[in-house]
Structure 1
Amino acid sequence: MKRLLVMLIACFLLGCAGVDVNHYARQGPTLDLPSYFNGTIDAWGVFQKRNGEVARRFKVEMRCSWVGDTGTLDERFVYDDGETQRRVWTLTRQADGSWQGRADDVLGVAVGRVAGNALHWRYTIKLPVDGTVYEVAFDDWMWLLDEQTMFNRSTMSKFGVNLGEVSLFFRKRS
């Protein structure tokens, strides 16, 4: 009985591991963060509750610039109810090729890895909801579709419980 229980727990934990970013190493086009996140980028997205209901829609204008291996992504959100928000990311390439990201509402440091056409980020954000600020974990994936277009899908969770998903399309301005 103990052996069966150990096997079930191991299967559960392995099932939670998810896809490794290196799975996309041979997928193109190759994502180069300083090349893609440079200039002005528009994005359109939705937040879906865990039951799939779209709870919010939004548009983002990103102004991106780089000095060496450090980039600034200035994001300006406009939600369907008129609310606005601004987040300024500072991205820094690490010696091992990974990326670190910092923003005022991110706890600690976002850690990301790129392989092929994919970027995988993990971070915790301070999310204000109805006057209370919650610490919410993001498992954030981005895939470059072509030179101008990227798709982003993030799952949000608290204590391992899925709260919902954010999906966005990014489009570079010509």
Structure 2
Amino acid sequence: MKRRLLLSSAAASTLVLGGCASQDINNYASEKPVLDLQQYFNGTLDAYGVFTDRSGAVVKRFTVVMRCTWSGDVGLLDEDFTYADGSTQKRVWRLTKLADGRYTGTAGDVVGTAQGQARGNAFYWNYTLSLPVDGKVYEVQFDDWMYLMTDRVMLNKATMTKFGVKLGEVTLSFTKR
């Protein structure tokens, strides 16, 4: 009985600790094609996405048209969202390229400064978003992972949390025109 309890505790500890582990951007350093944000996010892109809740149910479907330009190490990503219910939203990101594949970014509904880093075909992006829901505004955290699949297609999976509790996920497919 003691052995069974010990094994159960060890297994539970492994699951809990494993759930806290996060990806390491350096694991993607040798993946191809190499993602160059200034090249990929330049011109017009179309994106198709869903927001799913904790249970995996689709809560929102949307499309995005992105118009992206760069001037030196500063990029402007002008995003127009259209949701399945007909509502719209706009977000304009201002990205700054730093050394070692690192980026910072700001947008009107982003609290503070987003931090990101690119390695190989991947980009990791972390930020806090002011999210309006039913007349109130909540600050939620996003852990955003993007993976370049081809020179035209990128997949994006973002986890949204509040106080460390997962609220849902955003899944997007970007296509460069």
Task: Please list the CA deviations of residues 123-166 of structure 1 after superposition, one character each: whole Å capped at 9, or x if unmatched.
Answer: 00000011100000000000000000000000000000000000
1-structure distance, mates of 2:157, 2:49: 10
Q: How many residue pairs align between the two structures?
A: 168
TM-score, normalisation: structure 2? 0.90
- How many Å separate the matches in 2 of 1:131 and 1:113? 34
Q: CA shift at 1:95, angstroms? A: 2.9
Report the structure number with the largest CA radius of gyration. Answer: 2
Matches within 5 A, 1:89-168: 89-168=93-172
Offset at residue 97 of structure 1 (A): 3.0
> In structure 2, what is the Cα distance between the partners aligned to 1:102 and 1:13?
32
Q: Give 1:46's aligned residue.
A: 50
Is 1:58 matched with 2:62? yes
The secondary structure found in structure 2 opposite 1:57 is strand
Percent identity between the two aligned chains: 58
Judged with a 3 Å threshold, the aligned counterparts in structure 2 of structure 1 residues 104 and 51 are, in CA distance, closer, same or farther, namely same
Cα distance between partner residues in 1 of 2:74 and 2:120: 20
1:27 paired to 2:40: no
How far the C-alpha of 1:94 sits from its partner, in A, is 1.3
Which residue matches 1:169?
173
Aligned to 2:70, the other structure's residue is in SS state strand
Q: Which moved more, 1:95-104 or 1:120-129?
A: 95-104
Report the CA distance between 1:106 and its aligned residue: 0.4
Runs of 4+ in 1 over 6 A off after TM superposition: 8-11
| Counterpart residue identity of residue 103, structure 2 | W
Residue 85 of structure 2 is matched in structure 1 by: 81
CA contact (8 A) 2:28 2:119 kept: yes
Distance 2:59 2:154 in 1: 22
SS at match of 1:135: strand
CA RMSD of superposed structures (Å): 1.7
Match of 1:22, SS state, is: helix
Structure 1 length as normaliser, TM-score?
A: 0.92
